[in-house]
């Protein structure tokens, strides 16, 4: 842990230099040493400790004061913050978080990186912009934000809180012994926002089209019970452009994420809160949401206006064949054709999801990439439970018949455990 009674600007910047975005280093210098004519050459331990305590355990008022001071301003309820300043501040925090993830000794982080999931600078910047944009309460970035808006934003933005906490825990070397220079392991998946990937080991060259920033953005908005693990189910680059193959790999797999890249480079998708299942009716719950990852990152949660969360069908003559999330047939938030597979559409409006805007660049699009991930632990289906309750002979009637033909006594017959009450 970094212990100091008094430190200079140069010492602090040198200590944090390798693991911090240069912009965040400047913002933290503003808080610690002041700015303008009030700038001091050294910082004492109390002020240095306040930076950690206020960001990790502080009240909303204390976190607001840190934000204003970092941006070179005194906290005043009547002073509005330029959104551009707030955006750059959020970008610097997110950029530092990604640096920490990339240098971490965590197996989770290493697996994602080794499989080709990078951290493109433009996507990191987009993640920071998305975190800041919610301060205005809508999808458009405001020009300025009031102290009241900032207060509400700091209380409600869980992603910012978790990212900032991880950043400051690492900058201050919490949970590390003095002199330990090794990379800091990430905390558990739910608190680090980076899920554990499952199912990628057999593929040495995974054709990733999303990156770490997209994973963090999507995962942060999942119900917490699903944030710890992503299970690879399907990719058009690996399994081919086949609706039948896709459905065969995603049906009955529990909640899942579908991610699409269109031919214009727009990346978007949706969270299906229940298992996909063929049928004539819509299924799902209001935990479902749609999202965009590129060119901007946005989330569209359920409105509860209708329950058209997810629909999938194939080989029917009277109903549409394909996958739908939100809206209605012919006007879905996401529609993926079964035949010909590789074509889809995104409607101009969708009453199922709040604040919705068309996800793809054009209303009709060609799919460049599509992948599906199960989230959380794989569900245990009724069939698996039933098979566990069967004896070996029940599960294998051929073996039972052979024993009968050979005149062998089945000693296990009649020795079954009673079913649970």
pLDDT digits (tens, 9 = 90+) for 181-221: 555 566 655 456 899 999 998 887 889 999 999 999 999 99
How many residues can be counted in the chain? 421
pTM of the full structure: 0.85
H-helix segments, 205-328: 212-220, 236-239, 243-250
Question: According to the model, what pLDDT value does residue 103 have?
Answer: 86
Q: Is 171 exposed, middle or buried (0-12, 13-18, 19+ CB in 10 A)?
A: buried
The token pair that represents 223 in the structure block? 């119900």
Secondary structure of residue 47 in the 3-state scheme: helix
For the cut 60, the answer to whether the pLDDT of residue 317 exceeds it is yes
pLDDT digits (tens, 9 = 90+) for 360-369: 999 999 999 9
CA distances, 42 to each of 6, 8, 52, 164 (Å)? 6, 4, 17, 24
Looking at residues 334-346, what average pLDDT do you find?
96
pLDDT digits (tens, 9 = 90+) for 99-122: 999 888 888 889 999 999 999 999
Q: Which domains does the chain have, with CATH numbers?
A: 6-189 (1.10.238), 221-375 (no CATH), 380-421 (no CATH)
What is the overall mean pLDDT for the chain? Answer: 87
- The radius of gyration of the chain's CA atoms, rounded to the nearest angstrom, is 26
- CA atoms within 13 A of residue 194's CA, in its CB half-sphere: 25
> Residue 331: which H helix or E strand, with range?
strand 331-337
CA–CA separation, 129 and 141 (whole Å) = 9
- Portion of the chain with pLDDT greater than 70, in percent: 84
Angle at 391 between CA 386 and CA 393, to 5 degrees: 120
CB 86 within 8 A of CB 133: no
Question: According to the model, what pLDDT value does residue 36 have?
Answer: 74
Looking at residues 397-415, what average pLDDT do you find?
52
Angle at 418 between CA 412 and CA 421, to 5 degrees: 165
CB 273 within 8 A of CB 309: yes
CB 80 within 8 A of CB 146: yes
Confidence class for position 421, pLDDT limits 50, 70, 90: very low
The token pair that represents 16 in the structure block? 């944090």
For the cut 90, the answer to whether the pLDDT of residue 352 exceeds it is yes
Q: Is 28 exposed, middle or buried (0-12, 13-18, 19+ CB in 10 A)?
A: buried
Angle at 305 between CA 304 and CA 307, to 5 degrees: 65
Q: How far apart are the first and last CA of the chain?
A: 55
Confidence class for position 8, pLDDT limits 50, 70, 90: confident
Q: What values do phi and psi take at 389, rounded to 5? A: -80, -15
């Amino acid at each position: 842990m970094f212990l100091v009674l008094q430190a200079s600007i140069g010492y602090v910047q040198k200590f944090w230099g390798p693991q911090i975005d240069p912009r965040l280093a400047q913002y933290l210098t503003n808080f610690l040493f002041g700015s303008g004519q009030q700038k001091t050459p050294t910082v004492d331990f109390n002020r240095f400790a306040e930076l950690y305590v206020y960001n990790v355990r502080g009240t909303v008022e204390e976190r607001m004061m840190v934000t204003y001071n970092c941006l070179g301003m005194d906290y005043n309820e009547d002073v509005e913050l330029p959104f551009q300043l707030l955006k750059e501040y959020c970008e610097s925090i997110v950029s530092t978080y990604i640096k920490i993830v990339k240098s971490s000794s965590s197996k989770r982080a290493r697996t994602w990186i080794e499989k080709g999931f990078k951290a493109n600078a433009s996507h990191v910047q987009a993640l920071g912009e998305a975190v800041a944009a919610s301060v205005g309460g809508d999808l458009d970035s405001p020009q300025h934000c009031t102290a009241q808006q900032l207060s509400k934003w700091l209380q409600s933005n869980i992603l910012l809180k978790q990212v900032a906490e991880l950043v400051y825990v690492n900058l201050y070397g919490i949970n590390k012994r003095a002199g330990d220079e090794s990379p800091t392991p990430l905390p558990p998946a739910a608190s680090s926002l980076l899920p554990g990937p499952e199912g990628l080991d057999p593929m040495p060259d995974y054709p990733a089209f999303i990156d770490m920033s997209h994973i963090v953005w999507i995962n942060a908005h999942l119900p917490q019970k699903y944030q710890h693990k992503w299970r690879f189910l399907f990719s058009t680059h690996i399994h081919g452009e086949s609706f039948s193959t896709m459905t065969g790999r995603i049906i009955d797999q529990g909640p899942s994420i579908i991610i699409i890249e269109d031919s214009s480079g727009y990346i978007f998708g949706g969270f299906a809160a229940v298992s996909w299942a063929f049928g004539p009716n819509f299924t799902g719950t209001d935990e479902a949401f749609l999202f965009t990852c590129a060119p901007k990152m946005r989330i569209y949660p359920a409105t509860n206006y209708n329950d058209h969360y997810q629909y999938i069908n194939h080989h029917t003559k009277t109903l549409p064949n394909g996958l739908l999330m939100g809206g209605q047939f012919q006007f879905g938030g996401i529609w993926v054709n079964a035949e010909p597979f590789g074509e889809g559409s995104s409607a101009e409006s969708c009453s199922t999801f709040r604040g919705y805007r068309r996800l793809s660049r054009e209303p009709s699009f060609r799919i460049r990439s599509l992948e599906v991930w199960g989230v959380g632990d794989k569900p245990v289906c009724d069939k698996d439970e039933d098979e566990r309750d069967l004896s070996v002979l029940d599960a294998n009637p051929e073996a039972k018949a052979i024993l009968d033909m050979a005149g062998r006594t089945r000693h296990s017959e009649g020795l079954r455990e009673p079913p649970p009450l």
